Structure 1
């Protein structure tokens, strides 16, 4: 059985072309027209999906053939196609960048790519760039393109005149303040921090409508798929999850898996709450603790609750920002030092450059947990790692520390890739990492 629905991959020749805002504005444009729009994000991105959820009014999930798996990519899109009027997928980086690339995902799903190209500073060369993107991989369908940051109607006409045969200009978007969202060191500013985001998205949608982008893309056939239900490995386990402006890097798929395995989820804010919820396990996800160091340090009641939880030997998963908060001290980008949880001896400190970037996996006997790392800080500690992650491409790894019930690392895991390993973490079961000799013979 197949389902036919308009669908397209919004991509670009490089980062910084404006595809995030174009995707969000397209979602809002069609939503305002009364359509149900489902949006996905290619790759391990937390920040773009926050804006895309506001734009579409629907949940946004990550798709990545290596991290989430090819079957899950197909299943997610097939599930959305059941009642969606339009499916948009925002690509990552440039169209052919990364392994797997946005082009690889588009081919896997059988949907066309729609490049967004920053046309400022170019004219007829725009057509040459389009030709290259469209012909680089003959298995990839490209039949339309969007010109962004166009200076005038005449500029748009010049771009259109030299497009290769078989490719049309869907629209030429003029420069407009509504088409820009501020960013910081790890990407876009979080949606919850952007005042007036709804109004801006409505304005951006009108900009796109005036540029002729209110036309639905071609419909494609999506094969209907079913997904097996996970085992109830966390039945009755109560998990407290930190969630606020300091700790917000949480995949929807992760929390949904925990619930599907039987866990009860209880959210709390380390910034404002004085007590932990009643829980058997604790998850401190990534985020921006360095931006809220003073508030976190001054919430001594919450710090004491988490310390007591740790010293009681209860399970704690600390990822990236949550991992940093577990250190004795955290030095923010201004060099101000904040005293934090002190579960891990040592200091976390912001750095001037990225310290970790890429797709990683953590292998244990319980499974292979796939995910990524992306951080601009370091953590110096006397603790010895229990294991290291493996980087999918290139060199480098992330240390994984295990002490009492704490599992901490800069590594962000995609839970559905290894349900048994995740269940072991939240049940406080010791992870069984392969020995050096086992790795050698693997």
Structure 2
């Protein structure tokens, strides 16, 4: 029987990219989402590459969950399925790129070419004038086959500075405006509109004035040609409809994602979720539910005890910033010890693993106690200790994911495996260790559950 391509209406969409990290991609993406959602449009935002923190800002700006899209980690079929679903309900789709437009393999440019997404670049022009035009020309022409939407100059000093930047462009129509210092009421916060710390941006839910910050960015964007671009064409005028994309699944694309077997039916999985354990992909929760699991969320920082459960997932996050509060929850520590002593499974990722260790020492040499249920001492450092895509071979198959941390672990725990980089033979190079201690399996590795649901089910105690 012949398969038909699903009918998908065209939807304006952009990939927001840049020359490097730190140029303003997240600010521009969130400002666009907030501006259009304030105008009554349904905006759906995606994040290219692995990221837990930027999506919190995009979710606040758009009012909808934000999923990651990556040609290696999540896969082409998953990307097509998610963007198709978004196009059915959204007025506007935004995809924030990762690093520079052409960085990585696959890159954000590869994703834009695959989907036909117009590329809107944002460039920190604080120390530029005419060279801005050369950067714009290079981004547009470096690789053939990209749709080009133009670019926005970020951190511009004045209207005169903006004029100099615009005059350097070979294509005047590429100019989508300049963002000068964006300020909040009260003291200026030009350099910290979206504040950062190690591992990335401070999550939106940790700031009481997060929405005010997004409104300030949206207000600044509203004064630019991009912010004033009409939604529909009038008398031949350029509009958002010029950036419409047909996101129907091409016949030559990868197949739709396979159905997920109900391997966790009848099992309750406890999931820590708060500021100390915030590194959770919504797609991972979807995957657990698709396997039939009942999810029981709890907050260690709020003093919650461990819910009644068959298995426990401790996601990554910032336990090092909340060590006193975690240690003070002695009731939860006792519950965790009982859970582990009973041989019930625990999967602890990165920060979740650290919280179970004995202590954490910061870069100034100050040591704080942790739960002390795994033998090991954590040492924070100013240099990255792990970064990049990884794959991890487990009894149920190979999980894809990534690593990103500023700490190192000194431990005598048994290593039962190691992750490896994409393209390398599985466990052939020195990636992140997979540790086993009693019923606890732990690693710095962050897993994308849908890449191998069977392996995740085995981690959480499902039968082989």
- Scaled by the length of structure 2, the TM-score of the pair is 0.89
Corresponding residue of 2:85: 79
Residue from 252, 262, 269 that aligns with 1:239: 269
Residue from 190, 193, 204 that aligns with 2:203: 190
Superposed CA offset, 1:151-192 (max 9, x none): 222322222223123852112112223562110010000111
Gaps of 5+ in 2: 1-6, 185-189, 230-239, 251-255
Corresponding residue of 2:253: none
Corresponding residue of 1:258: 288
Query: Equivalent residues in 2 for 1:330-341 (5 A)?
Result: 330-341=360-371
Superposed CA offset, 1:113-156 (max 9, x none): 11101111211111111111111101222231111122222322
Q: Does 1:306 align with 2:340?
A: no
Corresponding residue of 1:175: 181
Q: Which moved more, 1:90-99 or 1:335-344?
A: 335-344
Superposed CA offset, 1:413-434 (max 9, x none): 000000000011112658xxxx
Corresponding residue of 1:437: none
Residue 364 of structure 1 deviates from its aligned partner by 2.8
Paired residues of 1:315 and 1:428 also in contact (CA < 8 A): no
Superposed CA offset, 1:290-331 (max 9, x none): 001111112111111111111110010000000111212222
Aligned pairs, number: 430
Say if 1:356 and 1:283 are closer, same or farther in 2 by CA, change over 3 A: same
Paired residues of 2:21 and 2:98 also in contact (CA < 8 A): yes
Q: Which moved more, 1:215-224 or 1:3-12?
A: 215-224
Corresponding residue of 1:219: 244
Paired residues of 1:306 and 1:341 also in contact (CA < 8 A): no
Q: Which moved more, 1:84-93 or 1:114-123?
A: 114-123
Query: Aligned with 2:284: secondary structure?
Result: helix
* Whole-angstrom distance in 2 between the partners of 1:65 and 1:374: 19
Corresponding residue of 2:408: 378
Residue 352 of structure 1 deviates from its aligned partner by 2.3
Query: Equivalent residues in 2 for 1:2-401 (5 A)?
Result: 2-165=8-171, 167-177=173-183, 180-214=193-227, 215=229, 216=240, 218-224=243-249, 227-392=257-422, 396-401=430-435
* Whole-angstrom distance in 1 between the partners of 2:414 and 2:317: 24
* Whole-angstrom distance in 2 between the partners of 1:341 and 1:7: 46
Residue 340 of structure 1 deviates from its aligned partner by 2.3
Paired residues of 1:328 and 1:345 also in contact (CA < 8 A): yes
Say if 1:79 and 1:224 are closer, same or farther in 2 by CA, change over 3 A: farther
Query: Aligned with 1:117: secondary structure?
Result: strand
Query: Aligned with 1:105: secondary structure?
Result: helix
Paired residues of 2:46 and 2:69 also in contact (CA < 8 A): yes
Paired residues of 2:31 and 2:61 also in contact (CA < 8 A): yes
Residue 13 of structure 1 deviates from its aligned partner by 0.6
* Whole-angstrom distance in 2 between the partners of 1:164 and 1:229: 49
Superposed CA offset, 1:260-286 (max 9, x none): 110000111112224211110001000
Say if 1:223 and 1:106 are closer, same or farther in 2 by CA, change over 3 A: same
Residue 403 of structure 1 deviates from its aligned partner by 3.0
Say if 1:274 and 1:48 are closer, same or farther in 2 by CA, change over 3 A: closer
* Whole-angstrom distance in 2 between the partners of 1:428 and 1:119: 53
* Whole-angstrom distance in 1 between the partners of 2:281 and 2:136: 34
Query: Aligned with 1:75: secondary structure?
Result: helix
Task: Determine which structure has the larger strand proportion and give its number.
Answer: 1
Root-mean-square deviation (CA, aligned residues, Å) is 1.7
Residue 228 of structure 1 deviates from its aligned partner by 4.3
Corresponding residue of 2:454: 420
Residue 393 of structure 1 deviates from its aligned partner by 6.7
Say if 1:70 and 1:357 are closer, same or farther in 2 by CA, change over 3 A: same
Residue 227 of structure 1 deviates from its aligned partner by 4.8
Gaps of 5+ in 1: 431-442
Query: Aligned with 2:73: secondary structure?
Result: helix
Query: Aligned with 1:81: secondary structure?
Result: helix
Paired residues of 1:250 and 1:286 also in contact (CA < 8 A): yes
